[in-house]
Amino acid sequence: MGNRAFILLILYKGSNGWNTHTIIQYNSDEGASAVRRKPLNFSDEGSAWPIGKKQTQFLIGLELGYAPNTPTDASKSIGAGNDTDGFAGQVTFNLINFMPKHSVGLVVGRAGAGYLMSPDFRENTNLLELRYKWTIDKKQKIEARIRRREDIDQITYSLQARVDTDFYLRYTRKF
């Protein structure tokens, strides 16, 4: 039986109120039935919620997924044989232009050991990420991120759960 994913995306979209977007996807044993979608793009002016001054905006996004057909804990080396957790989700909170041209965001996510369908998130992982962007002008920006990922369930042959902390700093200039 192929992998099925049920994904529910909820976002606040300006004066239009709450909107939802639902994707139901089936992948057969022979391969994926559809090309993977890129992450949602919230750059549309109507996709942020103004706070106080006109230029400061708050954006919240929620993404949930469920894979009902999952491997066993034993096959993922995390337990004795029950089916793995097929739930995944993330929530993001963003302040856009909290100071002119400066934005910050916080992402909290979780992907169970049986949620094997995401190209962006490692299964069996809790995620915490802080992002910052400074748009210097139309041609230049600086972005920074610090991210912490840790195992939900410890791998049975490990002495301790995996914990990864990484960061990046990027300067972009368009010519």
Q: Is the dihedral of CA 40, 17, 43, 100 positive or negative?
A: negative
Q: What whole-number distance in Å separates Cα of residue 39 and Cα of residue 172?
A: 20
Phi-psi region of 137 (alpha: psi -120 to 50; beta: other; left: phi over 0): beta
Q: Say if residue 8's pLDDT is above 60.
A: no
Q: What whole-number distance in Å separates Cα of residue 31 and Cα of residue 42?
A: 30
Q: Say if residue 133's pLDDT is above 90.
A: yes
Q: Say if residue 131's pLDDT is above 50.
A: yes
Q: Say if residue 1's pLDDT is above 50.
A: no
Q: Say if residue 45's pLDDT is above 60.
A: no
Banded model confidence at residue 144, pLDDT cuts 50, 70, 90: very high
Mean pLDDT (whole number) for 141-150: 93
Mean pLDDT (whole number) for 51-76: 77
Tokens 């080396």, residue located: 77
Q: What is the pTM of this model?
A: 0.67
| 67 HSE (CA, 13 A, CB side) | 24
Q: Do 9 and 20 contact (CB within 8 A), yes or no?
A: yes
Mean pLDDT (whole number) for 92-114: 91
Domain ranges (residues) in the chain: 3-33+44-173
Q: Burial, 35: exposed, middle or buried (Cβ in 10 Å; 0-12, 13-18, 19+)? A: exposed
Phi-psi region of 31 (alpha: psi -120 to 50; beta: other; left: phi over 0): left
Mean pLDDT (whole number) for 88-99: 90
Residue 99, SS3 per DSSP: strand
Nearest Cα residue to 150 out of 159, 161, 160: 161
